[in-house]
Amino acid sequence: MAKYYQPEIETASQEQIRAWQNERLVEQVKHVWNDVPYYRKKMEEKGVTPDDIKSVDDLYKLPFLTKDDLREAYPYGLMGKPASECVRIQSTSGTTGKRVVAFYTQHDVDLWEDCCARAIVAVGGTKDDVCHVAYGYGLFTGGAGLHGGSHKVGCLTLPMSSGNTDRQLQFMTDLGSTIICCTPSYAAYLAESIYEKGIRDQIKLKAGIFGAEAWSEEMRRDIEEKLGIRAYDIYGLTEISGPGVSFECEAQMGMHINEDHFIAEIIDPDTGEVLPEGEKGELVFTCITKEAFPLIRYRTRDICVLSRKPCPCGRTHVKMSKPMGRSDDMLIIRGVNVFPSQIETVLIEQGYPANYQIIVDRVNNSDTFEVMVEMSPENFSDSLKKITEMEKSLVGALKAMLGIAAKVKLVAPKTIARSEGKAVRVIDKRKI
């Protein structure tokens, strides 16, 4: 059984990886300078030209890109190739207010799928496997990425997409799925359903690739035990490509970043200064092989640690820890990015005070999402029917804005907890 999808790359020496990175970074900066006026302007403002970038050591000289840049440049401002050269777009999950659209040439899709194929082989996937992809298909990168990777490995690919658990379980038992790709919370839900139906002995799964949301070691053990599989983490973001930016190997101790495509840095989120290896800070990526959406020094806002300690799996690429938090206020709830400011916008539109509180918890391995909203005089009446209609309209508007359903709890005015005069907007009770 092949242990690596691209052994010469995945086990290359540190020197070789560095050499690839140096060469590709220099080329990429020229490409961006010539073809992405938005970024060229940023470079000019910082007084940097492609001549200043001779190796990865010069990376720190380049300006950062943030989600705000992506919004400002929406939709075409950060494209590195004309649309006629692109074959695909993907978009971030469900956030109408802050949608990010990423473009791909055929070459970009190929390299992205290679990354996902590496992840599948790393969990033991071969052409004899039946790969059950239960990530959402569509704009979301989860389905498309693992689907493509599964094809490259030669697995029999089941493009299940998300939802319809009964159908998922039927295909899983009838077609003998051996690898499952989905969010960890959906894996936990499937495990629960399999247990309830008493069909564990008909399940042939051996491994799972679970990403797009934070999960704990405890949850990993729980899923592994209930499904009788090994559960692996995968990391990615639409801006950089999608799942497969990094992936876990058999060691289950951090995710290898595909360094031949992405240069990772850890910075101090407050000063932007690059931190030495092993220190905790914000993860920043530079895409060195992407053509259509070549982001340089993109700030992920994920807080983590990098490690170059040798890995028992034989892969040499740097490993990142699971993200330990965010350097902004974004929440990931059921795999969907949620910004408190989006909730505020909806509340104001619907005539409620902007004094709200979000309570997120994890019950039976699934995220619960409640928004406490203070009743307002204009939305109150003697009629319960009118109040519940207003409440339903608020729930609908939140769903339309966020892409996921929230439970709304109407409370009396001024009851939402404040600490030292400053409102506490988010209470995240999830133990991850």
Partner 1 sequence: MNIYQISVFLENRAGQLSEITKLLADNGINLRAISIAETSDYGVLRMIADDAERASSILLEQGNIISMTPVSVVAVPDRPAGLSEVLSIIAEAGIDIEYMYSLFTHADDKAYMVFRVDGEEKLSSAIKAHDMEMATKEEIGLK
Kindly tell me which residue out of 387, 397, 416, 432 binds partner 1, with binding defined by CB under 8 A.
387
Q: Cβ 424 to partner 1, closest distance in Å?
A: 18
Q: Give the range of 34-42, 54-62, 63-71, 372-380 binding partner 1 by CB under 8 A.
A: 372-380
Based on the shown chain and the rule CB under 8 A, indicate whether residue 393 belongs to the binding site for partner 1. Answer: no
Binding segment for partner 1 among 36-44, 151-159, 237-245, 377-385 (CB under 8 A)? Answer: 377-385
Contact flag: residue 410 with partner 1 (CB under 8 A): yes
Determine contact, residues 303/280, Cβ cutoff 8 Å.
yes
Sheet strands (E) in 92-242: 101-105, 130-133, 156-159, 179-182, 207-211, 230-236
Whether the ω angle into residue 159 lies within 30 degrees of 0, i.e. cis, is no
Question: Does residue 414 touch partner 1 according to CB under 8 A?
Answer: yes
Measured CA to CA, the distance from residue 125 to residue 365 in angstroms comes to 26
Indicate which single residue of 193, 307, 368, 376 sits in contact with partner 1 (rule: CB under 8 A): 376
Task: Give the C-alpha separation, 141 to 104, whole Å.
Answer: 12
Instruction: Evaluate whether 406 touches 371 at the Cβ level (below 8 Å).
Output: yes
The minimum distance between CB 409 and partner 1, in angstroms, equals 6
Per the DSSP assignment, residues forming a β-bridge with 86 are 105
> Can residue 383 be called a binding residue for partner 1 (CB under 8 A)?
yes
Question: CA-CA distance, 385 to 383, in Å (whole number)?
Answer: 5
Q: Which is nearer to partner 1, 387 or 432 (CB)?
A: 387
The answer to whether residues 378 and 341 touch, using CB atoms and an 8 Å cutoff, is no
The residue range among 108-116, 170-178, 237-245, 413-421 that interacts with partner 1, by the rule CB under 8 A, is 413-421
15, 127, 271, 412: which one binds partner 1 (CB under 8 A): 412
Q: Segment near partner 1 (CB under 8 A), from 164-172, 186-194, 394-402, 406-414?
A: 406-414
423-428 own/partner pairs: CB under 8 Å, 24+ apart: 423/355, 423/357, 424/357, 425/329, 425/340, 425/356, 425/357, 425/358, 426/329, 426/331, 426/340, 426/357, 426/358, 426/360, 427/357, 427/358, 427/359, 427/360, 428/331, 428/360, 428/361
Nearer residue to partner 1 within complex by CB, 375 or 432: 375
Contact segment (CB under 8 A) with partner 1 among 113-121, 175-183, 300-308, 371-379 equals 371-379
CB proximity list for 390: less than 8 A, separation 6 or greater? 350, 379
Q: Interface with partner 1 includes 377 (CB under 8 A)? A: yes
Is 381 one of the binding residues for partner 1 (CB under 8 A)?
yes
Q: 150-189: which residues touch partner 1 (CB under 8 A)? A: none
CB of 78 to partner 1, least distance (A): 44
- Residue closer to partner 1 by CB (options 364, 388) is 388
Instruction: Tell me the one-letter amino acid at 277.
Output: E
Residue 395 makes contact with partner 1 by CB under 8 A? no
Interface with partner 1, residue 384, by CB under 8 A = yes
Q: Are 233 and 319 in contact (CB under 8 A)?
A: no
In the list 89, 330, 375, 397, the residue contacting partner 1 (rule: CB under 8 A) is: 375
Maximum pairwise Cα distance, the chain: 74
The C-alpha atoms of residue 58 and residue 377 are separated, in whole angstroms, by 58
Contact call for residue 388 and partner 1 (CB under 8 A): yes
Signed CA dihedral, 13, 18, 23, 25: sign only: positive
Q: Which letter does DSSP use for residue 84 in this model?
A: G
Regarding 415 and contact with partner 1 (CB under 8 A), the answer is yes
CB 282 within 8 A of CB 300: yes
96 or 388: whose CB is closer to partner 1?
388
Q: Quick one: 309 or 386, whose CB is closer to partner 1?
A: 386
Is the distance from CB of 38 to CB of 9 less than 8 angstroms?
no
413 binds partner 1 (CB under 8 A): yes
CB of 381 to partner 1, least distance (A): 5
> Where do the H-state alpha helices sit in 80-183?
106-122, 141-153, 165-174
Give the residue with the Cβ less far from partner 1, 408 or 426: 408
Of 7-15, 29-37, 77-85, 385-393, the window that binds partner 1 (rule: CB under 8 A) is 385-393
Q: Using CB atoms within 10 A of its CB, is residue 326 exposed (0-12), middle (13-18) or buried (19+)?
A: middle
Q: Which of these segments, 141-149, 152-160, 239-247, 403-411, binds partner 1 (CB under 8 A)?
A: 403-411
Task: Find the shortest distance in angstroms from Cβ 415 to partner 1.
Answer: 7
The single residue among 380, 392, 396, 418 that binds partner 1, judged by CB under 8 A, is 380
**Residue 298's CB: how many other CB atoms inside 10 A?**
24
Residues that bind partner 1 (CB under 8 A): 375-377, 380-385, 387-388, 409-415
